[in-house]
């Protein structure tokens, strides 16, 4: 099939040397088997791949540089965008133009030269474009809101193989859909996003080991109530491995890791954090004033590839009883090899208008995430067991569950019901209509695929 496409970048089939290397990703728990992989170097290569897939009636997915994988695991055409790496900063307008395969570290570094920062996530190796298209709940979220709402323009190859420049003025419906559900409507080759004037932050982590974990969780929850939007935080309940890369005070120990980013002054940040002192002895305290270029040190996300399955729910409230039950279900005595992370939402996330983009559930107050580590190449039984463990945790919240955050769906196959839960009901209906208009054959199979009515899925 590779003879049917003209591409400046490499083209691979399962029989071609380099095929497996091209497919290699951060996620190692699931195997992909596309019929063709196109290593795109620019929009023309993407157009060629889209036209070939459409001509042959094959699904097409995109793999950039993030923590997830494309939607379809078997067959079809996969476009890898890691060669499309570049950032241009318009410092007068405060806009970054980001190419499709660019990781956040490139954007952060270039924006910092102009005293600005992007609304990036906790890991600098994640692809900026895919992250932003799915909403983007980042380090500065409660102060500045969703990353998707900062998109001002997009270059996208649609199902007809044409490259479009999409703005709110040129194509308001498609522009709305791209900001929150972008991979369903084409291959985005670049994004223009607004930066913020936040060159420095006060942030870091507070680590509490086994006996203080319950107190840390309850104190953090109490602390978040009424917290100003200058502070964005989360808590991770983490069984740290006994490895040299882990800080010695928490190496091999079950730990509550409170992560904090404050956008005001260092003195204000220290004052805001002071109430957490009631928890007890802190095994490690990394709070300090820092340039935004050092913010990757706050979460210390593992940089090396691994196998995992992760899901989440968005809830409108989280009380002490629910927190206690989470520990009972996932703590060190359960034998589960999972990480729980709870993100405090609200602030600017709730203040932003929901009519400007497809991002859903803006009234959520917490995102509760569960991630289970798997063996490389884990089979369906391991995924099913992890999913069952996660569902038991989410049952704790009952009617308080509002939906799901697409950024935090990681790993195995995503169901139509999960995708539907990522959006408000009316917005999902509108997205289905737009999918039918722009991609009626369901060519684009993003990880969070919204099928058109013609696909027979309701």
Give per-residue pLDDT as tens, 23-79. 988 888 777 889 999 999 999 999 999 999 999 999 999 988 767 666 545 579 999
Mean pLDDT of all residues in 278-293: 97
Res. 152: pLDDT tops 80: yes
Cβ pair 390, 372 in contact under 8 A:
yes
The Cα–Cα gap between 456 and 438 comes to 17
344-354: string of b/e by CB count within 10 Å (b at 16+)? bbbbbbbebeb
Q: With contact defined as beta carbons under 8 Å apart, do 337 and 308 qualify?
A: no
**Mean pLDDT within 83-106:** 97
Model confidence at 410: pLDDT above 60: yes
Question: What's the rounded mean pLDDT across residues 423-439?
Answer: 97
When pLDDT is averaged across residues 102-131 and rounded to a whole number, the result is 97
Mean of pLDDT values over 86-113: 98
Burial 385-415 (b: 16+ CB within 10 A, else e): ebbebbeebbebbeebbbbbbbbbbbbbebe
Q: What is the DSSP letter of 238?
A: E
Mean pLDDT value of segment 114-121? 98
- Which residues are CB-neighbours of 25 under 8 A, at least 6 positions away? 63, 69, 305
Residue pair 444/436 in contact (Cβ under 8 Å)? The answer is no
In the block, residue with structure tokens 């956040």: 104
pLDDT the model gives residue 266: 97
162 Rama class: left (phi>0) / alpha (psi -120 to 50) / beta: beta
Q: What share of the chain is helix, strand, coil (3-state, %, to 5)?
A: 35, 25, 40
By the 10 Å C-beta count (0-12 exposed, 13-18 middle, 19+ buried), 170 is classed as exposed
State the pLDDT confidence band at 379, using cuts at 50, 70 and 90: low
CA distances to 46, 100, 135, 199 from 81, rounded to whole Å, are 9, 6, 20, 29
Decide: helix, strand or coil at residue 386: helix
pLDDT above 50 for 100: yes
Average pLDDT over residues 420-431: 97
E strand spans, 21-83:
36-39, 60-63, 77-80
Q: What is the mean pLDDT of residues 279-286?
A: 96
Mean pLDDT for the stretch of residues 73-99: 93
Q: Structure tokens of 311?
A: 């899901």
Q: What percent of the chain is modeled with pLDDT above 70?
A: 95
377 burial via Cβ count (<10 Å: 0-12, 13-18, 19+): exposed
Mean pLDDT (the chain) is 93
H or E element at residue 188: strand 187-194
| Average pLDDT over every residue of 90-97 | 98
Q: What is the residue whose two structure tokens read 């270029």?
A: 293
Pure H helices in 57-123? 104-112
Q: What percent of the chain has pLDDT over 90?
A: 80
pLDDT of 443 higher than 60: yes
Lowest mean pLDDT among 183-197, 369-383, 385-399: 369-383
Residue 80 has pLDDT above 80, yes or no: yes
Give 381's pLDDT tier (boundaries 50, 70, 90): confident
């Amino acid at each position: 099939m590779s003879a049917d496409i003209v591409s400046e970048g490499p083209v691979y089939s399962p029989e071609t040397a380099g095929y497996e290397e091209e497919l290699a990703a951060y996620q190692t728990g699931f195997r992909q088997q596309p019929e063709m992989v196109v290593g795109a170097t620019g929009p023309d290569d993407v157009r060629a791949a889209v036209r070939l897939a459409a001509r042959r009636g094959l699904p097409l997915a995109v793999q950039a540089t993030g923590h997830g994988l494309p939607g379809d695991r078997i067959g079809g055409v996969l476009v890898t965008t890691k060669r499309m790496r570049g950032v241009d900063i318009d410092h007068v307008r405060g806009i970054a133009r980001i190419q499709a395969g660019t990781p956040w570290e490139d954007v952060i570094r270039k924006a910092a030269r102009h005293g600005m920062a992007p609304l990036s996530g906790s890991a600098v190796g994640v692809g900026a474009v895919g992250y932003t298209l799915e909403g983007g709940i980042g380090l500065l979220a409660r102060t500045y809101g969703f990353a998707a709402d900062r998109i001002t323009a997009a270059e996208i190859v649609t199902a007809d193989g044409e490259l479009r420049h999409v703005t709110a003025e040129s194509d308001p419906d498609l522009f709305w859909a791209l900001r929150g559900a972008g991979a369903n409507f084409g291959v985005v080759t670049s994004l223009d996003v607004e930066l913020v004037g936040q060159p420095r932050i006060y942030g870091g982590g507070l680590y509490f080991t086994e006996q203080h974990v319950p107190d840390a969780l309850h104190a953090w929850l109490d602390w978040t109530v009424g917290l100003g939007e200058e502070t964005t935080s989360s808590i991770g309940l983490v069984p740290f491995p006994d490895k040299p890369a882990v800080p010695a005070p928490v190496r091999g120990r079950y730990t509550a890791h409170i992560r904090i980013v404050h956008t005001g002054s260092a003195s204000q940040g220290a004052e805001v954090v002071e109430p957490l002192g009631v928890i007890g002895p802190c095994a490690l305290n990394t709070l300090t004033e820092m340039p935004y270029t050092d913010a990757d040190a706050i979460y210390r996300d593992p940089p090396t590839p691994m196998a995992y399955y992760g899901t989440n729910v968005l809830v409108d409230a989280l009380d002490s009883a629910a927190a206690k039950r989470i520990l009972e279900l996932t703590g060190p005595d359960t034998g589960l090899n999972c990480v729980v992370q709870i993100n405090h939402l609200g602030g600017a996330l709730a203040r932003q208008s929901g009519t400007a983009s497809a991002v859903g559930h803006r009234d959520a107050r917490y995102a509760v995430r569960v991630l289970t580590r798997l063996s490389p190449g884990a089979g369906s039984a391991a995924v099913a067991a992890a999913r069952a463990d996660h569902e038991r945790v989410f049952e704790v919240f009952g009617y308080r569950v509002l939906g799901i955050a697409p950024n935090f769906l990681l790993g195995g196959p995503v169901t139509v019901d999960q995708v539907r839960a990522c959006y408000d009901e009316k917005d999902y209906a509108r997205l289905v209509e737009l999918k039918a208009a722009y991609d009626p054959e369901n060519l684009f199979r993003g990880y969070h695929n919204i099928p058109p009515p013609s696909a027979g899925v309701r």
